A and B are shown apart, each in its own frame.
Chain A
């Protein structure tokens, strides 16, 4: 164990952790903006309640994405100073653009949205959540363009041992980025959709049970009736609408994930053949290469079909690539961790496709005003862990599959680490971040569960019969719920 190993562990731990929160920020932000837009368009109160409810969950999660992102920006310099010096000219540009063009937008307009409910005109307030969430999505584009450059460096030349950018447009329109950006953003929508499916399914089950309890204990006194009424802040039509919307979002985004994933696979064959070979454990160059969904079952020609859309195409094998890389780059081990890459590919595709399957099943079961069956409302909870695990596996495939390179063909991970940082320093920082992140994960999970259990804020029933609300009156009655 040396500083390099620990620095890699730290990068892995902090990045996977950071990316548990970011997809929810990206996808749930758009979902909340959509709900608020629906409220504006229709004036239906349940859209406002859903906006506030999911808005609160969104904010609990948002904080974690922001603060863990700070670590990401700093640790390139802290742990990977040789990497940073080598790539900064190219890699730093999208990072600086991310801060300038995306993070300012996101944070400033989110602040306006949180505190502007009763201070901004309604349309401007709606525009704020859209501006914030466009900022989140834009930030994903820039960081993914930077990440894609590590896998497929373009638009640069190496001068005096440092990469020099020659074409920013090439970096921003890297084919790898153009496949990866929709893949990751759509996957974020799947995760956010899964989150809403899980929450809605849970609320449906819980409110049905509460309603059954209320029927069983006939409330004789006015106080008891009041208590039951207070507990029944629920609204089956409301949860049905959030469930359906999330099912549609998940199904459509799932299709985009699959399509862009297929495109990424095509690029792998040309740009990172070792990662492709490792994902199948293919030892030797082979025409019409087979694919094994699980070990022991082999579908002939399937890998060639997946990777080249041609059942007879040649796919390079691990041992042959190793031999060619040794000739090209000198002696060394150019093979990534095979079991991790092999299994992460299967977890990613398997769990990802199951999530899409779950959403299609849900759409079928709830078609034409049908209520969600009890058993389906219960398995909705799976929609949270399944896509999350798929996404973690996707990142492991992507980043461990790139090893031993930080920049494919240009810079080895072993040559990227900070020379002046000692083993004990990295150990201390890894320990601090792991402990802090662990505590915060528990706190965040408890907070989310508490708010999901509590449900949306009840609507105050006015004493006097009144005319139908306009949206300003609705907003005034629900206003303070998102304040500090």
Chain B
């Protein structure tokens, strides 16, 4: 495999990891006032993501850092092209991160302010990522809104299923109901948004030459639909696997469409760093990534038990 292809796959993998992992913390943050009754349950909810959300966010930092190193022109044009939306993403992540870290150390009105920050930061950022990539593919307002709605609703369903999986008591029951209720919105959005992906010029060409992308989009819808069925049957672990799979498939479809021409008028080959940089970075990545995956996996294992009220 060519190194540029390999690094495009690495970057797609990192973004996918980011959306799957931070996807549920966005969902948990967005649902904070919806699911919880009282301070005890709010703590219970946030304790499900407390030990892991910061590590999840490093997937974004790594994805962007890898783009900078492997495809500088892509990194530079994408980030300067989506200037104001990214300012809002950063503001959302700042407010959310600080609020998550500080809420347990303050009380009363200040804690309420932190809760508001967690909700606003999670909703805003989860929406913006989809909006940015929707806009990148089409450049129309409808696609921007639809992309944002898709990423937000997917994150919310994913987060609700995660809360159902990681808690006990009334919170768990409420999370299950909410997951079902939100999927009433998420499923139609996915059904409208995903087949519409090949609408634009460059994207259309990618889909015509790679019919597998149709398959991936269809599989994403099926995964989401089966998540709904599984949560209905109280199979929380499998339902979470299914929502994660739908996010993987949506992100996979997105990066499959971006392959060859990640930005209009810019090919992967033009954007890429030299073979030397890609070569040494490959070695470093191959050596380091298994350790990262192992110890991050270990964290999830340490905190595998359900959080009680």
Contacts and interface: CB of A to CB of B under 8 A. Distances in A.
Interface of A: 56, 59-60, 62-64, 66-71, 73-74, 76-82, 84-93, 95-101, 103-105, 107-112, 114-116, 119-120, 159, 162, 164-166, 168, 418, 420-421, 425, 428-429, 432-433, 436, 440, 443, 447, 451, 483-484
22 contacts: A63-B98, A66-B54, A76-B68, A78-B80, A84-B72, A84-B76, A89-B273, A92-B72, A93-B281, A95-B68, A100-B289, A103-B62, A165-B274, A165-B276, A418-B76, A428-B87, A432-B91, A436-B94, A443-B98, A483-B47, A484-B50, A484-B104
Contact of B68 (A84, A120, A418, A440): A84
Q: Among A96, A103, A429, A447, find the residue whose CB has the most chain B CB atoms closer than 10 A.
A: A96
Interface stretch (B144-152, B200-208, B291-299): B291-299
Report whether over half of chain B's contact residues are helix, strand or loop; otherwise say mixed. helix
A278 to B, nearest CB: 30
Contacts of A168: 277, 280
Contacts of A79: 80
Contact of B64 (A66, A73, A421): A73
B69 A103 contact: no
Given A70-B61, A74-B79, A97 B68 contact: no
Contacts of A104: 55, 58, 62, 292, 295-296
Contacts of B285: 100
Interface string B2-46: 000000000000000000000000000000000000000001001
A67 B80 contact: no
Given A100-B62, A421-B80, A56 B105 contact: yes
Given A85-B76, A103-B62, A418-B80, A60 B105 contact: yes
A50 B231 CA distance: 46
B303 interface: yes
B214 interface: no
B232 interface: no
A108 B69 contact: no
Contacts of B75: 77, 84, 88, 92
A391 to B, nearest CB: 22
B265 to A, nearest CB: 13
Nearest to A91: B68
Find the residue from A82, A98, A115 having the highest chain B CB count within 10 A.
A115
B52 interface: yes
A111 B51 contact: yes
Interface of B: 43, 46-47, 50-55, 57-58, 60-62, 64-73, 75-81, 83-84, 86-87, 90-91, 93-95, 97-98, 100-106, 273-274, 276-277, 280-281, 284-285, 288-289, 292, 295-296, 299, 302-303
B97 A63 contact: yes
Contact of A95 (B65, B76, B277): B65
Contacts of B54: 66, 107, 110-111
A100 B284 CA distance: 9
A99 B62 contact: yes
Contacts of A80: 76
B55 A88 contact: no
B62 A111 contact: no
A13 to B, nearest CB: 14
B76 A89 contact: no
A93 to B, nearest CB: 5
Contact of B101 (A59, A109, A165, A436): A59
Given A77-B79, A100-B289, A66 B97 contact: yes
* Ranked 9 nearest A-B pairs via Cβ: A88-B72, A77-B79, A92-B69, A63-B101, A92-B68, A81-B76, A484-B104, A84-B76, A96-B65
Nearest to A77: B79
A420 B80 contact: yes
A101 B106 CA distance: 33
A436 B302 CA distance: 35
B94 A89 contact: no
Given A66-B54, A112-B51, A112-B302, A99 B104 contact: no
B143 to A, nearest CB: 21
Most B CB within 10 A of own CB, among A68, A71, A111: A111
Contacts of A483: 47, 104
A484 B103 contact: yes
A116 B73 contact: no
Contacts of A451: 105
Q: Which of B65, B103, B284 has the most CB of A within 10 A?
A: B65
A74 B90 contact: yes
A369 B55 CA distance: 44
A391 B278 CA distance: 35
A105 B294 CA distance: 11
A76 B78 CA distance: 11
Given A110-B54, A420-B81, 20 more contacts: A60-B105, A62-B101, A73-B64, A77-B68, A77-B80, A81-B76, A89-B274, A92-B70, A92-B75, A99-B65, A100-B289, A100-B292, A104-B295, A104-B296, A108-B299, A109-B295, A119-B303, A164-B277, A421-B80, A484-B46
Contacts of B284: 97, 100-101
Contacts of B71: 88
Given A74-B79, A484-B47, A93 B84 contact: no
B303 A115 contact: yes
Contacts of A440: 94, 98
Contacts of A165: 273-274, 276-277, 280
Contacts of B68: 73, 76-77, 84, 88, 91-92, 95-96
A265 B247 CA distance: 52
A90 B277 contact: yes
A95 B280 CA distance: 14
Residue with the highest number of chain B CB atoms closer than 10 Å, among A66, A86, A162, A432 = A66
Contact of B58 (A103, A421, A432): A103
A60 B101 contact: yes
A107 B64 contact: no
A425 B87 CA distance: 10
B206 to A, nearest CB: 24
Nearest to B284: A97
